[in-house]
Structure 1
Amino acid sequence: MLHEVGSFLVLLSITVNCVLSQDTNIYFPNRGNSTNTENSSTPIEKRNNSSSETESILKDLQTTYNATNHSSRFESSWFVEFPSLPDVFITSTSLPDGECMRQTLRYLQELRNGTLWAFQMYDSSSKRFEGIISGNTRHYGNFDQCFNLEAILPVNENHPDSDRIAGRYCLIDFKFQKTHVMPHVSKPYVMEFDPNGPAWDAIQERGDFRRVKRYLMQLALCVPASCTAKDVEVALTETFKKFGIARNMRIETTVKQEHCQTKDELLEFSTASWIYCYVLLTLLALVVVGNWYDSSMENNELTDKSAIKDLILCFSPRRNLKTIFTATYNHPGLDCIHMIRIFFMSLVIFGHRTMQYYTNPVINANYLEWTYTFPSAMMVHNGTVIVDAYFGIGGLLVAYGILQELDKKKKISVIGLILVRFLRLTPSYMLVVFFNALILPHLGTGPYWEVKIGKESQSCRSNWWTNLLYVNNYVNPQNFCMFQAWYLAVDFHMYILGIFVVYVFWKWPRKLGYTLLVVLTIVSCVIPFVHTYFYNMQPIFMGLPYMREVRDDFYFINYYIKSHMRASSYLIGIIAGAIIHDHKKSTWKLTKAWSRIFFALFAVVLSINIQAFSFKFIDINAEKGPLITALFASLHRAAFSMSMCSVVVLITVGQGLDFHYNFLTPAWAQPLSRLTYGAFLVHNVNQIYEISVARVGRVFTFHNLIWDFVPDILFTMIISLILSITVEGPFKNIEKRFIIHKANQRDRETSNVAQKPKKID
């Protein structure tokens, strides 16, 4: 029964193609002479086979897609008559001699016979496009049916040797363009088109850069595993080229190596991967031993102060959990930072989830495009300014902490501060980097697995050292590992700069010190102004529906992730930290009225207006001059940083903000805030994994976006807690016990020696 059904469906598909080309018998030249298809002679084995029947079949099959058999009309025929992709491949005479051609001919023979594996291979492929007008430009076919295909082919009179065939799943890229016709471009650029107008108007770009490029399309094709990406491209190119020429079109067909995958080429578990697993087991063993040893101690106090026992206790999950979940609020302004961190980390996760809809197949991309016409949606589409809030808070804490240290000790160790920072950030960071490089590629398969996970893994294996040295935003930035890791590089660079800036500020008189900070901030704003004004760069990062790879975005790679382009936000934070530190010596307080007015103006009105004004630069119909664009590029990040830092400053120096303080300091905020670094590191793993294993395109709705975001938060916080217990917390304890503690001990000994009275002879 399955045999007859399979044969019927294949025949039906082929018949439709034949009707379109006005030749219903070309697939079966012997149809009129034989009533039993299975018993008909099919001597197709090799290209050099001189059999007249083989030559006749190949010649007749090729004429199916010969461009001269089609109408030359463009508008009405090209989409309707677009050839079925698997039919073009199996009838191609462009395949080079070799195993691929031999197995393809066997595939054709078995398909005519209705053999299950051949029907499975044919059925796995996308046949034509659908939903193009709505922006559905990428079609998956059936990945698993192709990827898991495997069969041992029996010997017959035409194939005397037994053979094995497997499926190779390929994504074929098409680019459609009219020849000798310039697209009509005029304002206003629109998202919707006249339903009575030409269909091509909705497919071409029409000057509106926000729209998905509907002339870039992708279909899935299942071929024998012996065929390479190059073989497939050669087999398809000539036929589609002729098809396009006959319709005044230019059709480019591309098959990338990473777009083709077969089960036979799955990545093997390497020695480095095993070493990584052993490292994880060692960390887990240390946690178990630390918990056992901590539990066996009386009153949790050490009687033997040995370094080994101290090291074991650093991994105690009981102590690390206690550290995480103990809330200690002791500074009105700084206490609010915990809630700010949680809020903005949630927005970071939400924003990166939204970006997955930009760079991956979406069935209803027109709905995503529609959101760009609403200013209120800029809180999502220009969500990148969230990062500047983090830079501002980071600069504030660095300035306040170093000034406190200088007041206490009158000196700082630059090398010591950098080393402590490095040890605090790097262990968890490298654990995630090597997870992406060594373990993640073994955890699944999918249509975009090699495109997403495979590329991420390869980048991490090649460029992990740039992450380790925190130079990944300047060295090989296009081959980045963990696309969000650029933030850590910028933060590390700004931390080093901040040490020197704060030290000079502390040494100089305050008026001169604040003048220095203001001048540096102005200079840091001038840099993006110059780049934007003189090089005609966009003022903001635009994650748009047409984007397929962030690493291919010129602005992201060359401007957005560079430290010198982000310094202004950090320097605003340093100024805020200096103000908070210096206010300790003053009894002056801002009045209740002015505190509330400034809070509303800076924390609320300023931040909202920054987002509202940014809509001007994403609205293609809005008029904006180069000067306004450059000014916005230079000031909006610093302004948003100032907006968020003002919350901390105003609660520190103001009055009448008790409600604001209580709202920003719930008991649960500080524990969750301690998990935000781990959340930053791991949240994208879940997102990229989910996209890579997806078998169908996503549907964009706000409901789906929210219900993608909620599991993201839960999963991320759970993994972050585990990471904090096993890596982040223990290494922070090691840093305190064996570096900071010993450094403080040496300082005390030096101080005691200096204060010891000398003997008078």
Structure 2
Amino acid sequence: MIGTVFMLCVSFGLTNCQVFADKNKFCYASYSESQLRPSNTLGMHRTSRTENPIYSRRAVPVSRGSSWWTDFPVLPLVFANSNTIPKGPCREQVQRYLKGLANSTLWAVQMFDASTKYPNGVLHGQTKHLGSFDQCYNLRAVLPPDEFSDIEEPDEVEGRYCLVRLRYQRKDVVPKRPQSFNLDFDPNLSVWNAIEYRGDFRRVKRHSVYLSLCVPASCSSQDVTTALTEPLKELANARQIHLDVTVKPSLCQARSDVPEDFTVGLKVFLFIVVALFVLVVASSWYDSSVYSLEKAVKGNEPRDLFLCFSARRNLRSIFDTGNIHPGLDCIHLIRFFLTAFAILAHRLMQYYGYPLVESTYLEKAYTVPFSMIVFNGPIIVDGFFGIGGLLLAYGVLHELDRRKRLDFTALILSRFLRLTPLYMLVVLFNATLMPMMGSGPYWESRVGFERDNCVKNWWTNLLYINNYVRPNEMCMFQSWYLSVDYHLYIMGLFVLWAYWHLPRRLGYPFLCGLIALGTAIPFVITYVQDQQPIFLGLPFMVEARRDPYFVGHYVKSHMRIGSYMVGVLAGAIVYDHKNATWRLPKAWSRVLFILLAVGFPIISQALAAKYFDPNSELHPLETAAYAGFHRTAYALGICSIVVLITIGDGLDFHYNFMTPRWVPPLARLAYGAYLLHNIKQIYDIGATRSPRVFSINNCLWEFVSDMVYTFGISLLLSVVVEGPIRKIVKFILTKRPSKCPAEGSNSYGIKKIN
């Protein structure tokens, strides 16, 4: 209301409104008793500055009926009237800004209009108020020389958009933890009951409010902090409130901060992309117009390598739907489902710590038992590890039986060369081109944060050590999975080599012992260090890489040994059964399928509900047990699908359901989709201009667009990068055939699943 009245005053040039103070004063939007008396036609009482306490620089007593909520400061006016702005270009342009407001100059009013005047909906969790980003960010004006300045050259002013965090709490009052947490509050009690943080981690922190402020671009984030701290502190002290003002550089951006020239890295990225597309186009043309199998000369290796870039051959490999093995065929659907669920879970994480209109919807979702399938979604990664161990075991055992030896160097190098080119191309994109593709209130804090991490720590991704080296500055937060998978892949090679040399009566106990070891590691760490058992996605979490549990435990390879070894054991069972004639009876097959494949994943996720409930009593031993067993149990449930369909009887319906013809192509695009999906998600957050509403409908619609974008681009990159590189690696590291190999079988003799 006050902001509206102010704009009317400025627009009509009415000086009797007295909303401005001179250079040594500042003003607030305040509903004091004097302003509630009969007013003029514009709704504001004509009162002198000495009568109205809001113009006084000294601490003022609180009048009856006046409180922090009614005396909330009008931030742009506090800034413009601040006497603590350091001398320099910022202070000079702020003085011109203040004069421009008094004269109703367009650029100055535009700067004021882009700023937040008063927060709304804070009690329901709308703590981030974004104002008008584009109106501020695109502001540029050439000002005539100041008549009171010695400088005769015209001055240029641009807008800088900042998000100012105001964190407030009562002085000398320590919020007491209630006996029982409840998301609903008695409306007749103090508002502080709903505002103060009392230990309910499900709730958005309402005592921390972000307000947008448009200032001249010559002012830095430190200048804004200095300008606001002292005057806001006076207001807060008068109300017995402690107020903390923070303006992060990443949330204070101007168009002039963005470099206009192409960097060397960007030129390299564009050169690589253009070169790859030229190769694909040329190879596809040669394959379809010139190359002939009848006239082909055997042993022409340069030509065969060139044909690996043929789009026709790579598309044929992607869309091949031939059968391999009853159990292994099911992995396509499992992989696609887990990838889709990971994309949905990461989309949900974008609602944490970012603008929401009604945070109560998100908070109350934690009280719904079924929601654990989503909120405990990080457990699905252990399904990936289980499947990875299963495929490795099947392939390595086949290789050992066929060749009686294992070329560790070739296998490790092959894995590295198959995964890394596309991986590094996405890292290079994040570091170079992505930051230039948009803008927004959170652009620098999200996209810029990703850029800086990738520029600084790309080598940790290349060496697959980013989950141990600088994990809090990890490039691409989901890339920890690749490092863990690579470490466990190497470990799995040696484990399977040892298993193959053992008699089966000792080999299976050996693998079970490793599973027990992998289960004991998180159990002991959780119990000894008194850690939480799972990664908790909570409403106030802005960035996972700043969460201590995420960087200290969740991303570590030694915490996932149990899940991977479950997959290795499952793969050994599937492989050893290929020459067996017995099958599990129908009744046992169906019972075990329900118990293991359905029950274990659901139960292991659902049991996490108590850790999302602040009213739960947590016992250290029980917590450690859950930390140790839940990941292994989930991987066991996923891998049991493959095992039971392989060795069980009477599961024809289950097999047909698990092997639709449309799934294999999508499953082969899962790796690219996993690398790419977060790009669209951080773009959406970085470019957002307004708060969103958390709802099932919105989550699903955004999930659909994520799937279409990521799998569509993954198809393109699979044809241009992933497919050619994998075929070239196979061409070089295996016996060289007469032509570039199709995506048929891998070096282990089974058709490629991953």
What do the CA deviations read for 1:668-708 (whole angstroms, capped 9, x no partner)? 11111100001000011011101111100111111111111
Cα distance change, pair 167–5 in 1 and its aligned pair in 2 (3 A): same
2:233 matched to which residue of 1? 241
Counterpart amino acid of 2:243? I
Counterpart amino acid of 1:99? P
1:87 matched to which residue of 2? 77
**Residue 704 of structure 1: which of 685, 694, 698 is its match?**
698
Q: Is the 8 A contact 1:395 1:577 kept in 2?
A: yes
Q: Is the 8 A contact 1:134 1:364 kept in 2?
A: yes
Cα distance change, pair 113–570 in 1 and its aligned pair in 2 (3 A): same
- Aligned partners of 1:10 and 1:449: how far apart in 2? 39
2:617 matched to which residue of 1? 623
Percent sequence identity is 49
Cα distance change, pair 446–402 in 1 and its aligned pair in 2 (3 A): same
What do the CA deviations read for 1:117-158 (whole angstroms, capped 9, x no partner)? 000001111112211111111111111000111111113532
1:175 matched to 2:179? The reply is: no
**Residue 98 of structure 1: which of 88, 97, 108 is its match?**
88
2:280 matched to which residue of 1? 287
Cα distance change, pair 307–4 in 1 and its aligned pair in 2 (3 A): same
Counterpart amino acid of 1:286? L
Deviates more, 1:202-211 or 1:364-373: 202-211
1:633 matched to 2:627? The reply is: yes
Q: Is the 8 A contact 2:299 2:738 kept in 1?
A: no
Q: Which runs of 5+ in 1 are unaligned?
A: 25-55, 746-761
What do the CA deviations read for 1:401-456 (whole angstroms, capped 9, x no partner)? 00000000000110100000001100110110100001100001100000000110
Distance apart, 1:255 and its partner CA: 1.1
- Aligned partners of 1:364 and 1:233: how far apart in 2? 28
1:267 matched to which residue of 2? 259
Q: Secondary structure at the match of 2:352?
A: helix
- Aligned partners of 1:336 and 1:435: how far apart in 2? 34
Distance apart, 1:216 and its partner CA: 1.3
Cα distance change, pair 642–145 in 1 and its aligned pair in 2 (3 A): same
Cα distance change, pair 225–418 in 1 and its aligned pair in 2 (3 A): same
- Aligned partners of 1:215 and 1:129: how far apart in 2? 12
Alignment of 1:100-499 (within 5 A): 100-159=90-149, 161=152, 162-268=154-260, 269-297=262-290, 299-300=292-293, 302-303=296-297, 305-499=299-493
Deviates more, 1:614-623 or 1:394-403: 614-623
1:14 matched to which residue of 2? 19
Distance apart, 1:510 and its partner CA: 1.2
Cα distance change, pair 608–10 in 1 and its aligned pair in 2 (3 A): farther
Q: Which runs of 5+ in 2 are unaligned?
A: 1-6, 21-26, 36-47, 740-754
**Residue 602 of structure 1: which of 588, 592, 596 is its match?**
596
Q: Is the 8 A contact 1:62 1:93 kept in 2?
A: no
- Aligned partners of 1:443 and 1:23: how far apart in 2? 51
1:758 matched to which residue of 2? none
Counterpart amino acid of 1:293? Y
- Aligned partners of 2:343 and 2:630: how far apart in 1? 22
**Residue 520 of structure 2: which of 518, 526, 533 is its match?**
526
Distance apart, 1:298 and its partner CA: 5.1
2:545 matched to which residue of 1? 551
- Aligned partners of 2:723 and 2:487: how far apart in 1? 24
1:651 matched to 2:645? The reply is: yes
2:555 matched to which residue of 1? 561
> When the two structures are superposed, what TM-score results if normalisation uses the length of structure 2?
0.91
Distance apart, 1:21 and its partner CA: 5.7
- Aligned partners of 1:716 and 1:18: how far apart in 2? 47
Q: Is the 8 A contact 1:433 1:482 kept in 2?
A: yes
Q: Is the 8 A contact 2:34 2:52 kept in 1?
A: no
Distance apart, 1:5 and its partner CA: 7.8
- Aligned partners of 1:290 and 1:440: how far apart in 2? 29
Q: Is the 8 A contact 1:21 1:69 kept in 2?
A: no
Cα distance change, pair 72–580 in 1 and its aligned pair in 2 (3 A): farther
Cα distance change, pair 720–19 in 1 and its aligned pair in 2 (3 A): closer
Q: Is the 8 A contact 1:65 1:239 kept in 2?
A: no
Cα distance change, pair 346–18 in 1 and its aligned pair in 2 (3 A): closer
Cα distance change, pair 62–469 in 1 and its aligned pair in 2 (3 A): farther
Counterpart amino acid of 1:429? Y
- Aligned partners of 1:490 and 1:61: how far apart in 2? 64
Distance apart, 1:245 and its partner CA: 1.5
Counterpart amino acid of 1:347? F
Cα distance change, pair 10–93 in 1 and its aligned pair in 2 (3 A): farther
Q: Secondary structure at the match of 2:481?
A: helix
1:36 matched to which residue of 2? none
Distance apart, 1:81 and its partner CA: 0.3
1:71 matched to which residue of 2? 62
- Aligned partners of 1:338 and 1:326: how far apart in 2? 12
1:749 matched to which residue of 2? none
- Aligned partners of 2:610 and 2:334: how far apart in 1? 27
Q: Is the 8 A contact 1:175 1:216 kept in 2?
A: yes
Distance apart, 1:69 and its partner CA: 3.0
- Aligned partners of 1:181 and 1:23: how far apart in 2? 30
Cα distance change, pair 180–591 in 1 and its aligned pair in 2 (3 A): same
- Aligned partners of 1:711 and 1:375: how far apart in 2? 27
Distance apart, 1:17 and its partner CA: 4.1
2:506 matched to which residue of 1? 512
Deviates more, 1:668-677 or 1:721-730: 668-677
Alignment of 1:703-722 (within 5 A): 703-722=697-716
- Aligned partners of 1:152 and 1:76: how far apart in 2? 42
1:572 matched to which residue of 2? 566
What do the CA deviations read for 1:47-79 (whole angstroms, capped 9, x no partner)? xxxxxxxxx99x999962635235177x96001
1:686 matched to 2:680? The reply is: yes
Instruction: Please report the RMSD computed on the Cα atoms of aligned residues, expressed in angstroms.
Output: 2.3
What do the CA deviations read for 1:571-627 (whole angstroms, capped 9, x no partner)? 100010011111123211100110000001001122211122111211111223111
- Aligned partners of 1:480 and 1:726: how far apart in 2? 27
Q: Is the 8 A contact 1:72 1:247 kept in 2?
A: no
Distance apart, 1:20 and its partner CA: 3.5
Cα distance change, pair 62–172 in 1 and its aligned pair in 2 (3 A): farther
Deviates more, 1:354-363 or 1:716-725: 354-363
Q: Secondary structure at the match of 2:123?
A: coil
Distance apart, 1:22 and its partner CA: 7.1
Counterpart amino acid of 1:177? Q
Cα distance change, pair 408–62 in 1 and its aligned pair in 2 (3 A): farther
Distance apart, 1:299 and its partner CA: 4.6
Distance apart, 1:305 and its partner CA: 3.3
1:660 matched to which residue of 2? 654
Q: Is the 8 A contact 1:381 1:543 kept in 2?
A: yes
- Aligned partners of 1:369 and 1:613: how far apart in 2? 19
- Aligned partners of 2:653 and 2:499: how far apart in 1? 34
1:541 matched to 2:535? The reply is: yes
Count of aligned pairs: 711
Q: Is the 8 A contact 1:92 1:236 kept in 2?
A: yes
What do the CA deviations read for 1:89-121 (whole angstroms, capped 9, x no partner)? 001001111111111011001100000000000
